[in-house]
Amino acid sequence: MLKILDAISAEVKNAFEAAGYRAELGNVTVSNRPDLCEYQCNGAMAGAKEYHKAPIMIAQDVAAKLTDSKAFASVEAVAPGFLNLKVNEAFLIDYIKEMAADEKFGFAVAQPKKVIIDYGGPNVAKPLHVGHLRSAVIGEAIKRICRYAGDTVTGDIHMGDWGLQMGLIIYEFSLRHPDLLYFDDTYTGEYPAEAPFTISELEEIYPTASGKSKEDEDYKAKAMEATFKLQSGVRGYRALWKHIINVSVTDLKKNYSKLNVDFDLWNGESDAHDEIPGMVEEMKKGGYAYLSNGALVVDVKEETDKKEIPPCMILKSDGASLYNTTDLATIRIRMREYQPDELIYVVDKRQELYFEQVFRCARKTGLVKPETELKFLGFGTMNGKDGKPFKTRQGGVMRLEYLLQEINDQMYEKIAENETMSEEEAKKTAAQVALSAIKYGDLSNQASKDYIFDIERFTSFEGDTGPYLLYTMVRIKSILKKYEEAGGKVSEATLASIDNASGKDLLKSLTGFNTMMEAAYSELAPHKICAYIYDLANALNHFYHETKILTESDPAKQSAYIALLKFTLTIMETCIDLLGFEAPEKM
Ligand code: ARG
């Protein structure tokens, strides 16, 4: 189906043609003077030269052809040649009925793609901190938006599980427990099935080891040696490493599920390890990779570069692989196993240059096809109220788990004031509302921008917040429920004339859904969904305050109101599901 502006434009284009002008001049836009009209067409001005006529005359000719149009409540030709338009409510209602009959409310993408989204990117054995929140929240929304558009999407967590941090943990562990089987080179039997540590021990080991390695050169060398032994396949090291992964992944799954984030693939950097030798061979054979000071590199600079783009290092002089080696090898695997049309990376924007190198290298060396799209969606930093990266009150790095808990607790206090709920229900509701606060607080900003994580503002039930949206939805649900309890039947099909100004605004807002979705999808911009539902919620609340709904005595009128509420709820539910949260029944 046409987008609303195209549907309105179609009417005006017909009129241009009927009056003897080029149809293309009839393009309609949303009015920039909402006090005068709802939509406008400036085509008469554009046509003046071509037809050697004053714009106002053209506008008048066209307006004359529109007098009988069922689409418009009023059409005015005004100096110097604008067409000021107000649509008919019936036109909007017909449009919405067509939307409601369509599975995706008129949103359609011509060419669905095969997409892989690389997001999350946690590092095993290190607790998730707030920095990981953005990748998870934004990536999850992007995944859902692409899926809704009809793309075949695979989300891959791409864990950091292969670098020096693994060697650090293993080496520190070997100092603490030198007698364990894992460190006995002569042992050839099976290793225990149970991990020799818990998640909390693991989380303590990493920072300790990392601290020591910064102060002690010898310690660092030993950790590097352990990394090398792990990567080259020493049995005991591999077995211990598997335990680290298992314990970590269990914990990560728990935390991501609290965020309503889930991945199709739980692959890590390590999964690219076996791919590296073949890839390196090919890069050498193709003449792309060469030795520079002992290291193997690929040049990626281009003539048009304004700044220096350093070569992409594939192997260090000791033969060890790097972060980008695993990223490149991962691309090679993904291309072979999934043949994606597009790869999207949702990563901190400080890695932009890095990804520029990786993408160029992948293109140059033929890891991807010329038409494969490689997109870097870099996000900004989540700052505290002081404008500096978000910290705990003590100034430390904020663990995601604690942050979630804090917001949950605050929400619980607010929700528990509502004494109609059992404790269990209140807990569940608090978690839902808290998640909306966090996710909406993040997603309502353009991803590339830094933003201030303001718990107080995000958790407010008023203003541009997640809880405000949920509150609006709960309000609708409660009206619908009361209507049903009084014997009414809730259906979108009974939508009919609403006949009041705030109702018309709400109708107009609803017609914008598919237009907005197209932009949110093509620009990978969840913040557009946020801006849209905030406007929609405002329109709904405005309508609610100005209209007696449950006490309306004309049943036909009342069921039209109910249908309008129901459809608004459907659109809001669709939107928040794309953003990755849901609304409770009460709050
Ligand atoms: N683990 C990385 C980090 O914490 C992020 C991974 C991003 N994804 C990727 N394919 N490199 O910085």
Q: Is 340 in the pocket of ligand 1 (CB under 6 A)?
A: no
Question: At 129, is the pLDDT very low, low, confident or very high (cuts 50, 70, 90)?
Answer: confident
The token pair that represents 370 in the structure block: 């010329």
Least confident of 74-83, 315-324, 440-449, 515-524: 315-324
What per-residue confidence (pLDDT) applies to 205?
A: 94
Question: At 27, is the pLDDT very low, low, confident or very high (cuts 50, 70, 90)?
Answer: very high
DSSP 124: T
Asked if residue 451 is part of any domain, the answer here is: yes
CA distance 201 to 192: 18
pLDDT for residue 401 is more than 90: no
Q: For residue 464, what is the domain's CATH number?
A: 1.10.730.10
Best of 123, 130, 132, 158 for a ligand 1 pocket test (most atoms within 8 Å of beta carbon) = 158
3-state secondary structure 219-280: HHHHHHHHHHHHHCCCHHHHHHHHHHHHHHHHHHHHHHHHCCCCCCECCEHHHHHHHHHHHH
CA of 339 to the centre of ligand 1 (A): 22
Ligand 1 atom nearest the C-alpha of 122 is 1
Verify that 231 and 343 share a domain, yes or no.
Answer: no
Q: Is 123 in the pocket of ligand 1 (CB under 6 A)?
A: yes
What per-residue confidence (pLDDT) applies to 271?
A: 96
3-state secondary structure 323-354: HHHHHHHHHHHHHHHHCCCEEEEEEEHHHHHH
The token pair that represents 177 in the structure block: 């427990």
DSSP 520: H
Verify that 199 and 285 share a domain, yes or no.
Answer: no
Tell me the average pLDDT across 228-249.
94
**Which residues are bridge partners to 76 per DSSP?**
84
- Whether residue 64 contacts residue 109, with contact meaning beta carbons closer than 8 Å, is answered with no
Asked if residue 137 is part of any domain, the answer here is: no
Verify that 192 and 287 share a domain, yes or no.
Answer: no
Q: Which helix (H) or strand (E) holds 377?
A: strand 373-379
- Whether residue 389 contacts residue 121, with contact meaning beta carbons closer than 8 Å, is answered with no
CA distance 501 to 547: 10
Verify that 70 and 185 share a domain, yes or no.
Answer: no
Q: Is 160 in the pocket of ligand 1 (CB under 6 A)?
A: yes
Question: At 203, is the pLDDT very low, low, confident or very high (cuts 50, 70, 90)?
Answer: confident
Tell me the average pLDDT across 566-579.
98
pLDDT for residue 447 is more than 90: yes
CA of 517 to the centre of ligand 1 (A): 28
Backbone angles phi, psi at 70, to 5 degrees: -75, -15
**Nearest partner of 48 among 7, 81, 92, judged by Cα:** 81
The pLDDT mean for the chain works out to 95
Q: What is the pLDDT of residues 461-471, one digit of tens each?
A: 999 999 999 99
Verify that 234 and 277 share a domain, yes or no.
Answer: no
Q: Is 347 in the pocket of ligand 1 (CB under 6 A)?
A: yes
Q: Which helix (H) or strand (E) holds 363?
A: helix 352-364
Asked if residue 128 is part of any domain, the answer here is: no
Asked if residue 503 is part of any domain, the answer here is: yes
pLDDT for residue 287 is more than 90: yes
Least confident of 220-234, 362-376, 397-411: 397-411
What per-residue confidence (pLDDT) applies to 74?
A: 95
Ligand 1 atom nearest the C-alpha of 348 is 12
Asked if residue 98 is part of any domain, the answer here is: no
Residue closest by Cα to atom 5 of ligand 1: 121
CA distance 570 to 583: 12
What per-residue confidence (pLDDT) applies to 533?
A: 98
Q: For residue 53, what is the domain's CATH number?
A: 3.30.1360.70
pLDDT for residue 510 is more than 90: yes
**Nearest partner of 414 among 384, 393, 437, judged by Cα:** 437
CA distances from 387 to 327, 383, 400, 444, 457 (A): 32, 5, 19, 18, 15
Long-range pairs for 70-78: beta carbons < 8 A, 24 or more residues apart: 71/8, 71/11, 72/11, 74/37, 76/37, 77/44
Least confident of 299-313, 317-331, 363-377, 387-401: 387-401
Verify that 441 and 508 share a domain, yes or no.
Answer: yes
Tell me the average pLDDT across 159-179.
95
What per-residue confidence (pLDDT) applies to 263?
A: 98
Tell me the average pLDDT across 436-451.
96
CA of 220 to the centre of ligand 1 (A): 22
Asked if residue 315 is part of any domain, the answer here is: yes
Verify that 430 and 374 share a domain, yes or no.
Answer: no
Q: Is 55 in the pocket of ligand 1 (CB under 6 A)?
A: no
Least confident of 252-266, 388-402, 453-467: 388-402
Verify that 564 and 453 share a domain, yes or no.
Answer: yes
Give the end of a domain, one of 210, 228, 258.
258
Task: Calculate Rg over the CA atoms of the chain.
Answer: 29
> Which domain covers residue 300, as residue numbers?
273-379
Q: Percentage of the chain with pLDDT > 90?
A: 89
What per-residue confidence (pLDDT) applies to 361?
A: 98
Asked if residue 546 is part of any domain, the answer here is: yes
Q: Is 134 in the pocket of ligand 1 (CB under 6 A)?
A: no
CA of 458 to the centre of ligand 1 (A): 27
Q: Which helix (H) or strand (E) holds 83?
A: strand 82-87
What per-residue confidence (pLDDT) applies to 163?
A: 87
Verify that 573 and 433 share a domain, yes or no.
Answer: yes
What per-residue confidence (pLDDT) applies to 319?
A: 85
CA distance 460 to 517: 27
Q: Is 566 in the pocket of ligand 1 (CB under 6 A)?
A: no
CA of 345 to the centre of ligand 1 (A): 9
Terminal-residue alpha carbon distance, the chain: 37
pLDDT for residue 392 is more than 80: no
What per-residue confidence (pLDDT) applies to 397?
A: 77
Asked if residue 522 is part of any domain, the answer here is: yes
Tell me the average pLDDT across 442-451.
96
Q: Is 151 in the pocket of ligand 1 (CB under 6 A)?
A: no
Verify that 439 and 574 share a domain, yes or no.
Answer: yes
Give the end of a domain, one of 87, 106, 127.
87
Number of domains in the chain: 4
Ligand 1 atom nearest the C-alpha of 327 is 10
CA distances from 90 to 14, 40, 188, 228, 496 (A): 19, 19, 80, 71, 8
User: Which pTM does this prediction carry?
Assistant: 0.95
pLDDT for residue 418 is more than 90: no
Question: At 66, is the pLDDT very low, low, confident or very high (cuts 50, 70, 90)?
Answer: very high
What per-residue confidence (pLDDT) applies to 264?
A: 98
Q: What is the pLDDT of residues 133-161, one digit of tens each?
A: 999 999 999 999 999 999 999 999 999 99
Verify that 463 and 509 share a domain, yes or no.
Answer: yes
What per-residue confidence (pLDDT) applies to 449?
A: 96
CA distance 236 to 234: 6
Tell me the average pLDDT across 273-280.
96
CA of 158 to the centre of ligand 1 (A): 7
Q: What is the pLDDT of residues 323-366, one digit of tens each?
A: 999 999 999 999 999 999 999 999 999 999 999 999 999 999 99
Strands (DSSP E) found in 88-186: 114-118, 152-156
CA of 524 to the centre of ligand 1 (A): 19
Give the end of a domain, one of 258, 290, 312.
258
Verify that 359 and 434 share a domain, yes or no.
Answer: no
Q: What is the pLDDT of residues 475-491, one digit of tens each?
A: 999 999 999 999 999 99
